[in-house]
Amino acid sequence: MFKKLFIQFVFSMLITGTTIFNVYAEGRCMPIGGVGMPNFVPQKDGTFMIVAPLTGSVVSAAGNITAKRETATGLEVDMEHYFMTEKGGFMHTKDLGILTTVPGKKGKYMIEITYHIQEESTSGVLKGFKGSFTSFGLVDLVKLKGFIRYSGEIC
């Protein structure tokens, strides 16, 4: 009987997201993580607007590239993103993306991004959270799509 009740409790917490957000209510940090499939929309200035469905802690993100620099191994980009949760949370981040060219694959890059939460931007269930988190993955700037894994802890 205990085992059945425990499984029902854990399942209900996973479905509602209560566990993650109650951790913050107790004054602790919360893990953030999941996967995303960014789509890149070319802009007239040669940069991209980014739109991504996500799974995990947040359900969607939109962003853009605010500056781009070529490096010896690929590109370095300044970015900003706007993340939303299913439970009504919102946060804006300012970010640094490192794109490393995949040898022999035109327009394909390994990508690493560090997201820095802009504290004044948080609202809803994310109100008051601060800190940073990271992602890594692959992007194809010829086909304008990619796949990333984001993770970290925010407080």
Domains contained in the chain, CATH given: 30-154 (2.40.160)
Model confidence band, residue 26 (pLDDT cutoffs 50, 70, 90): low
Judged against a pLDDT cut of 80, whether residue 119 lies above it is answered with yes
List, in order, residues 6 or more apart from 67 with CB less than 8 Å away: 77, 78
pLDDT at residue 140, rounded to an integer? 97
| Token output for 135 | 């992602």
Element (H, E) at 83: strand 74-84
Report the distance separating Cα 30 and Cα 24, nearest Å. 6
Q: To the nearest whole percent, how much of the chain has pLDDT over 70?
A: 83
Q: What is the pLDDT of residues 71-110, one digit of tens each?
A: 999 999 999 999 999 999 999 999 999 999 999 999 999 9
Cα 56 to chain centroid, rounded: 10
